[in-house]
Amino acid sequence: MSPSCGTKEKADLVIINGKVLTVDQENPSAEAIAVKGETIIAVGTTKKINSFIEAGKTKIIDASGRLVIPGFNDAHLHFGPLDPDFIELRYTTDPSIITEKVKAQVARSTPGELIRGGHWVHELFPDKKWPSKELIDKVSPDNPVLLERADGHSVLVNSYVLKKSAITKNTPDPFGGEIQKDIVTGEPTGILKDAAMGLIKTGDIKIERSADEEKERTRHGYLLAMKEARELGVTSIQNAGWGEFKAYEMLQSEGELTSRIDIGAPLTGDSSKLMQYMELEKKYPKEGNWIRFGYLKAFADGSIGSSTALMFEPYTDNPATSGLAMWSYEDLEKMVLAADKMGFQIGIHAIGDKANNWILNSFEKAVKVNGKRDSRHRDEHTQTVLLSDIPRFAQLGVIPSMQPTHCISDKLFYEKRVGFERCKGTYAWRSLIDAGSLLAFGTDYQVEPLNPIEGLYAAVTRKDRLGEEGEGWFPGQKLTMEEAIKYYTFGSAYAQFMDDRKGMIKPGYLADIVIVDKDLLTIPESEIMKTKVDYTIVGGKIVYNSDK
């Protein structure tokens, strides 16, 4: 709205006396911000922004020298309602703890009720061996138990699940999956990898809750997830796959939607399904700012941790395998060509060097067959890449959608899996940037924690979360803090076609802003992980204040 009678437009909210990192190349730093409605209307000195204050009406945040940055935009995560009964096994180093936690949850459950948990990493165990069903069988004879590895590409199940699912020593591996079997007896160990997880049938799951109770439980789970996001400064979410549009519409109607969200769908070559997606995209268009239809997602391979990432050469520590392909290349290419022809954005999970090569090849073929457009197709993870493939990302306009914390989690076993030489193209942030790519950062939550600060730490140090001596793992790929913040804000906005209105602190842009309690730009690396969010602002509204 233009000011009338020569008076300046007044702000609903101002932030003053801050150290503002705008991520705007034309105006990289400032002291203060003025917001009207959902939009930033001015950025500059505190003196300038003070003139936008209307006494008694404008909300004032005195940043008192704290760092102010654009809201964090998680470009790749698996977001949804949190399960209060989920068994959290992240960072578990003693397998007996898994047994005890399952035992405790079984005691709180009824016979036949499904027990879920996960985020374990067997490389953290003293013997670094895969767990087996014997770890949980004795404490869960009457309940199905599913405990996913941190990467989500393997699951430990008990004998109850194997029996209900009719998985025996004679069950063949499905395409794109592996039923791990004891080398002596041939019996399933309880570890199912990738497509083999699709064999699971848990039987009749007994839940002693009414439909209304279950509905309220799910709603509470969404509220818990939103709470976690806003407390960590996550103002935008790009869901890597399907989500419940109606659930987020309900949250929005109740004033509980405190993060913007894109919800994608599975990649397909089925024209009738693609037409259904087009209708969804019309209902939740890219022009929207809150609930939007995102990209079409597929998996090319598995993970390094589960030894299912698709590599050109065999694994160094297991020469019997080169990983698993989730599709033949021909089928993957057909899906890409069909979806690209209809104008969809595509994001494909690719971990191994062969999988990443396939993705680039399929996107290149789409340009040749369907013509060049601003598709912003995405390579989700971009973990291990042939050095010769790195320039192709920028040449093809393919976005490396990457998660920095994967680097500091997986470096524990990466060289063991694939050897030193192949690691030169692993989490190659600097090489990709130097070749002209714009990165999009995220977490892959719940595979990794949702906290963006951990991602910033990983990007600038490439060191273990507890710290370590030296320059970090393949230190030539490290970023500056300013770069890491840029790719976690503007880079992610670009990946979702919102760089014209989000990802920077700039007049005309959405007022998604975070204030943190430490100066990330100057503090020593040992202090980065201790940094907390003090304020989260979404669309000009304060949705989190650490003082309240």
For residue 321, pLDDT over 90 is answered with: yes
pLDDT of residue 206: 61
pLDDT at 351: 98
For 331, what's the count of Cα atoms within 13 Å in the CB-facing half-sphere? Answer: 10
Pull the structure tokens for residue 463: 């060191």
Percent of the chain with pLDDT over 90: 90
Q: Is the pLDDT of residue 215 over 90?
A: no
Please check the confidence at residue 2 and state whether its pLDDT lies above 60. no
Domains contained in the chain, CATH given: 1-70+504-548 (2.30.40.10), 87-199 (3.10.310.70)
Task: Give me the pLDDT at residue 5, please.
Answer: 40
Model confidence at 203, in pLDDT bands (50, 70, 90)?
low
User: Using CA atoms, how far apart are residues 120 and 447, in angstroms rounded to an integer?
Assistant: 10
Tens-digit pLDDT profile for residues 275-292: 999 999 999 999 999 999
Confidence at residue 211, expressed as pLDDT on a 0 to 100 scale? 78
**pLDDT at position 1 over 50:** no
pLDDT at 6: 44
Alpha-carbon span 247 to 223, nearest angstrom:
11
Query: H-helix or E-strand containing 481?
Result: helix 481-495
Tens of pLDDT, residue by residue over 83-94, are: 888 999 998 999
* Residue range 351-382, pLDDT digits in tens: 999 999 999 999 999 999 999 999 999 999 99
Q: What mean pLDDT is reported for the chain?
A: 95
* 244-253 burial: b if 16+ Cβ within 10 Å, else e: ebebbeebee
In contact, 145 and 136? CB cutoff 8 Å: yes
Question: How far apart are the C-alpha atoms of 283 and 290, rounded to whole Å?
Answer: 12
Q: How far apart are CA 348 and CA 548, in angstroms?
A: 41
User: Is the Cβ–Cβ distance between 456 and 465 less than 8 Å?
Assistant: no
User: DSSP secondary structure string, 39-86?
Assistant: EEEEEE-HHHHHTT--TTTSEEEE-TT-EEEEPEEEEEE------TT-
Mean pLDDT score, 263-270: 96
Q: What is the pLDDT of residues 384-423, one digit of tens each?
A: 999 999 999 999 999 999 999 999 999 999 999 999 999 9
Q: Compute the Cα dihedral for 223, 70, 392, 287 and give only its sign.
A: positive
Q: In what order do the strands lie in the sheet with 513-516?
A: 29-30, 19-21, 67-70, 513-516, 533-538, 541-545
| 208-215 contacts, C-beta under 8 A, 24 or more apart | 208/110, 208/113
Distance (Å, rounded) from C-alpha 386 to C-alpha 383? 10
Dist CA 529 CA 536 (whole Å): 18
- Per-residue pLDDT tens over the stretch 33-67: 999 999 999 999 999 999 999 999 999 999 999 99
Beta strand pairing status for 346-350 and 541-545? unpaired
Task: Give the mean model confidence (pLDDT) for residues 306-326.
Answer: 96
Residue 4 scores a pLDDT above 50: no
What is the distance, to the nearest Å, from the Cα of residue 506 to the centroid of all Cα atoms in its chain? 26
Name the more confident of 8 and 509.
Answer: 509
What pLDDT shows up at residue 7? 59
Q: What is the pLDDT of residue 3?
A: 41
What is the pTM (predicted TM-score) of this model?
0.89
Q: Long-range contacts for 271-274 (Cβ within 8 Å, ≥24 apart)?
A: 271/338, 274/338, 274/339, 274/342, 274/344
As a whole number of angstroms, the distance between CA 514 and CA 230 comes to: 10
Q: What does the pLDDT look like over 145-167, one tens digit per residue?
A: 999 998 889 999 999 999 999 99
pLDDT of 207 reads 61
The dihedral through the CA atoms of 100, 102, 106, 112 has a sign that is negative
What's the pLDDT tens digit per position in 6-32? 457 999 999 999 999 999 999 999 999
